[in-house]
């Protein structure tokens, strides 16, 4: 069994692309080996800023021989038939064998492909890997026509220590690679994977991404502990830094004390986003005047110059922030709204200030209906986008909302107002935190309603990969927000309000949908997003959502729908649900056939006195007790209990189908039993349209 080690050595690969690239190399190698009929035991891939590596273990030294037989026409077939066959197969008559079969003598073409040396096959696989690999963004360099994420500068390819020759991008594959850019720049020879990994470490490169990540975590924690602090948890930053260095060394730098009067996020944003530093916290979880930094080498003066340099850069950034902090607060937050008048929300939908004015109206209307204080909500809406015109947000866009909140607090706005300015951007990421406070929630919902209705009304909707206004995300956020039980309004109704808030007669979009059309389009779009959200969030299959939607009333709320789907998920997970479903299917099949035959619909008018067998009596008794209960529970929103009650019907249903024949000769009895089945169907439909469920 042989081992193939292949390294693509390049200039620095962007950190954000590394995890996916490592994954892709694995999938692609696997596919190509399979295509070439090369079996293997394992594939592992690795990535650092400068190399993408795959090692395949357990390869044979030769591929398996391939014997292919192709059957042709009979020996005595017409000359034209034989000629046609020979032409397609690309052989002459003399290359054919004649074989006796039970149906007579036939011509056969037999191809015997001997096994090929693995080395030869790999020589073809390696360049085709490079060709087929897809980066999110790739480039050309020098005078070459090939593309890669950054220029390729070396190719190492060895099978059991021997070079697998091929050339690509003007380079010849070899058994050499290089270590750390500065600490060990000279090329060295590699024998096998174990040797490779070890020699890399000797040459100041940690090959394994996860190992680097863990080391960074450990080292940052260690140096923070030296000054009695702990790093702020931030897995995204950790991931990014793991892709920026091959040999991580941690240092601690100091922040000038006078900057510590700035709000914590104003300090941590330039640290994290711009400089990739780790903020450090004291024992009370308060931001400390220190930061952790990962260097790609130790520095010949043990990091003294590196630390001083990084401190200097941060000082300049914080000096900027300090300046903006003071400048921005020289005027009331509300004054920034003037600048929003010349900033476009969308050319056909007006300026950002127009949007703010709509948000004031829309969120006020919502507030009145859900029992929130409309004055607070209106104020929050009026100030919600003001900070976009502040100098701080101009320099650090990540601070939108956060600065508005700080400035509002300092200027004596109500705490709910300040909070809503920050929190109306939530959830910041899919699955992120949802605001709890009612003014924040209302404003967050109004903001998404306004965007979705505006764009859909003028015909801008997401299609395929095109969604420049991030409407899919807005839709998902709107659903997540409206799952909050405090928001009890019908989505369709509030979509209408959002439509009405636009001064359509003053705007002159090239396309303007009617209110009915626009609301319906957004609603359908939201339902699709809703299915997607439930499947991703709680693993609900699409058919469960469809079943619930099938019986929902006209103006459902998403929280109501989500609860129903959840209850149905639980039911269908168990045996009771599956049995009820098959009973339902059986009942509706029978009903469908019989209703067609009888040209009449059965709707559940069971005559108790006609019931004969004990199993049908028992089913009827249970249905008559439970059906009204279930209806009642659904109306009160207690789906869990409703579904539990439904599940208790199962034994009676099972026994009914076991013992009772529906289509009897006795006409009255048959009709009554059909009504009983219809009663069962109706009862199940109170919770969900079972016909939409897949078995």
Note the residues at the interface with other proteins (CB under 8 A): 11-12, 14-16, 49, 137, 139-143, 150-151, 153, 170, 181-183, 244-245, 275, 277, 293, 295-297, 299-301, 305-306, 308-310, 312-316, 319-320, 323, 342-344, 347
Q: Of 140 and 375, which has the nearer Cβ to other proteins?
A: 140
Q: Assign 470 to helix, strand or coil.
A: coil
Other CB atoms within 10 A of residue 168 CB: 20
Other CB atoms within 10 A of residue 278 CB: 30
* Pairing assessment for the beta strands 249-254 and 287-295 based on DSSP bridges: antiparallel
Q: Of 322 and 644, which has the nearer Cβ to other proteins?
A: 322
* Beta-ladder partners of 101: 104
* Beta-ladder partners of 466: 463
Question: Rounded to the nearest whole angstrom, what is the least distance from the CB of residue 488 to other proteins in the complex?
Answer: 39
C-alpha dihedral (208, 214, 215, 221), degrees to nearest 10: 170
Q: How far apart are CA 253 and CA 311, in angstroms?
A: 6
Counting beta carbons within 10 angstroms of the beta carbon of residue 693, is it exposed (0 to 12), middle (13 to 18) or buried (19 or more)?
buried
Question: Rounded to the nearest whole angstrom, what is the least distance from the CB of residue 139 to other proteins in the complex?
Answer: 4
Q: Of 11 and 191, which has the nearer Cβ to other proteins?
A: 11
Measured on CA atoms in the order 550, 552, 553, 557, is the torsion positive or negative? negative
Question: Rounded to the nearest whole angstrom, what is the least distance from the CB of residue 256 to other proteins in the complex?
Answer: 11
Question: Rounded to the nearest whole angstrom, what is the least distance from the CB of residue 323 to other proteins in the complex?
Answer: 8
Q: Of 352 and 383, which has the nearer Cβ to other proteins?
A: 352
Q: How far apart are CA 644 and CA 411, in angstroms?
A: 54
Q: Of 81 and 308, which has the nearer Cβ to other proteins?
A: 308
Tokens standing for residue 329: 């607060």
Name every residue whose Cβ is closer than 8 Å to that of residue 695 and which is 6 or more positions away in sequence: 578, 581, 582, 585
Residue-wise burial string across 34-47, b where 16 or more C-beta atoms lie within 10 A, e elsewhere? eeeebebeebebbb
Question: Rounded to the nearest whole angstrom, what is the least distance from the CB of residue 149 to other proteins in the complex?
Answer: 8
Question: Rounded to the nearest whole angstrom, what is the least distance from the CB of residue 290 to other proteins in the complex?
Answer: 15
Q: Of 141 and 188, which has the nearer Cβ to other proteins?
A: 141
Q: Of 259 and 657, which has the nearer Cβ to other proteins?
A: 259
Q: Assign 686 to helix, strand or coil.
A: coil
Name every residue whose Cβ is closer than 8 Å to that of residue 362 and which is 6 or more positions away in sequence: 381, 446, 449, 450, 497, 498, 501
Q: Of 347 and 463, which has the nearer Cβ to other proteins?
A: 347
Question: Rounded to the nearest whole angstrom, what is the least distance from the CB of residue 244 to other proteins in the complex?
Answer: 6
Question: Rounded to the nearest whole angstrom, what is the least distance from the CB of residue 343 to other proteins in the complex?
Answer: 6
Write out the H or E segment, with its range, that includes residue 598: helix 575-598
Q: Of 193 and 204, which has the nearer Cβ to other proteins?
A: 204
Tokens standing for residue 133: 């690999």
Measured on CA atoms in the order 428, 434, 440, 446, is the torsion positive or negative? positive
Question: Rounded to the nearest whole angstrom, what is the least distance from the CB of residue 14 to other proteins in the complex?
Answer: 4
Q: How far apart are CA 635 and CA 60, in angstroms?
A: 67
Q: Of 309 and 541, which has the nearer Cβ to other proteins?
A: 309
Question: Rounded to the nearest whole angstrom, what is the least distance from the CB of residue 180 to other proteins in the complex?
Answer: 11
Torsion angles phi and psi, residue 150, rounded to 5: -150, 165
């Amino acid at each position: 069994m042989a081992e193939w080690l292949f390294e693509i050595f390049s200039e620095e690969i962007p950190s954000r692309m590394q995890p996916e690239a490592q994954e892709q190399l694995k999938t692609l190698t696997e596919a190509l080996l399979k295509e070439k009929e090369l079996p293997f035991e394992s594939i592992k891939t690795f990535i650092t800023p400068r190399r993408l590596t795959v090692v395949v273990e357990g390869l044979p030294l030769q591929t398996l021989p391939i014997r292919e037989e192709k059957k042709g026409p009979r020996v005595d077939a017409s000359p034209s038939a034989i000629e046609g066959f020979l032409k397609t197969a690309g052989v002459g008559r003399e290359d054919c064998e004649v074989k006796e079969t039970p149906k007579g003598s036939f011509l056969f073409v037999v191809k015997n492909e001997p096994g090929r040396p693995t080395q030869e096959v790999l020589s073809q696989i390696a360049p085709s890997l490079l060709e087929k690999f897809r980066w999110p963004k790739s480039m050309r360099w020098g005078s070459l026509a090939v593309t890669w994420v950054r220029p390729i500068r070396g190719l190492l390819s060895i099978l059991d220590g021997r070079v697998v020759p091929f050339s690509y991008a003007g380079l010849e594959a070899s058994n050499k690679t290089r270590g750390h850019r500065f600490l060990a720049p000279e090329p060295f020879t590699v024998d096998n994977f174990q040797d490779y990994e070890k020699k890399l470490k000797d040459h100041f490169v940690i090959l394994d991404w996860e190992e680097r990540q863990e080391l960074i975590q450990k080292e940052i924690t260690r140096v923070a502990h030296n000054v009695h602090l702990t790093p702020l948890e931030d897995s995204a930053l950790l991931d990014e830094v793991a892709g920026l260095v091959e040999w991580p060394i941690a240092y601690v730098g100091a922040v000038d004390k006078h900057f510590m009067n700035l709000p914590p996020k104003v300090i941590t944003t330039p640290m994290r986003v711009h400089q990739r530093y780790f903020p450090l916290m004291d024992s009370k979880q308060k931001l400390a005047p220190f930061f952790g930094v990962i260097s790609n080498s130790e520095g010949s003066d043990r990091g003294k110059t590196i630390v001083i340099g990084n401190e200097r850069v941060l000082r300049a950034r914080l000096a900027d922030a300090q300046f903006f902090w003071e400048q921005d607060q020289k005027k009331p937050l509300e004054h920034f709204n003037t600048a929003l008048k010349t900033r476009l929300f969308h050319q056909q939908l007006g300026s950002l200030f127009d949007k703010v004015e709509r948000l004031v109206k829309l969120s006020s209307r919502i507030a009145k209906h859900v029992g929130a204080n409309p004055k607070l909500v209106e104020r929050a809406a009026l100030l919600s986008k003001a900070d976009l015109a502040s100098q701080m947000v101009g320099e650090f866009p990540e601070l939108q909302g956060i600065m508005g909140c700080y400035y509002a607090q300092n200027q004596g706005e109500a705490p709910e107002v300040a909070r809503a300015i920050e929190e109306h951007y939530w959830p910041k990421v899919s699955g992120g935190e949802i605001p709890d406070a009612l003014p924040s929630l209302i404003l967050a919902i109004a903001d998404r309603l306004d965007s979705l209705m505006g764009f859909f009304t003028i015909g801008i909707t997401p299609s395929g990969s095109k969604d420049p206004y991030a409407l899919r995300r807005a839709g998902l956020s709107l659903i997540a927000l409206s799952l909050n039980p405090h928001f009890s309004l019908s989505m369709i109704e509030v979509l209408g309000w959002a439509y009405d808030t636009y001064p359509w007669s003053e705007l002159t979009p090239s396309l303007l949908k009617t209110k009915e059309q626009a609301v319906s389009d957004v609603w359908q779009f939201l339902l699709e997003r809703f299915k997607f959200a439930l499947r991703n969030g709680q693993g609900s299959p699409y058919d469960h959502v469809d079943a619930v939607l099938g019986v929902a009333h006209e103006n459902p709320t998403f929280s109501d729908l989500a609860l129903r789907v959840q209850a149905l998920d639980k039911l269908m997970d168990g045996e009771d649900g599956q049995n009820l479903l098959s009973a339902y299917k059986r009942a509706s099949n029978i009903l469908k056939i019989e209703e067609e035959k009888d040209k009449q619909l059965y709707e559940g008018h069971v005559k108790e006195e006609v019931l004969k067998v004990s199993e049908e009596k028992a089913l009827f008794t249970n249905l008559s007790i439970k059906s009204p209960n279930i209806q009642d529970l659904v109306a009160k929103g207690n789906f869990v209990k409703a579904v539990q009650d439904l599940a208790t019907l199962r034994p009676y249903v099972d026994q009914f189908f076991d013992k009772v024949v529906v289509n009897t000769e006795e006409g009255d009895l048959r009709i009554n039993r059909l009504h009983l089945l219809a009663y069962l169907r109706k009862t199940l439909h109170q919770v969900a349209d079972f016909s939409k469920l897949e078995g």
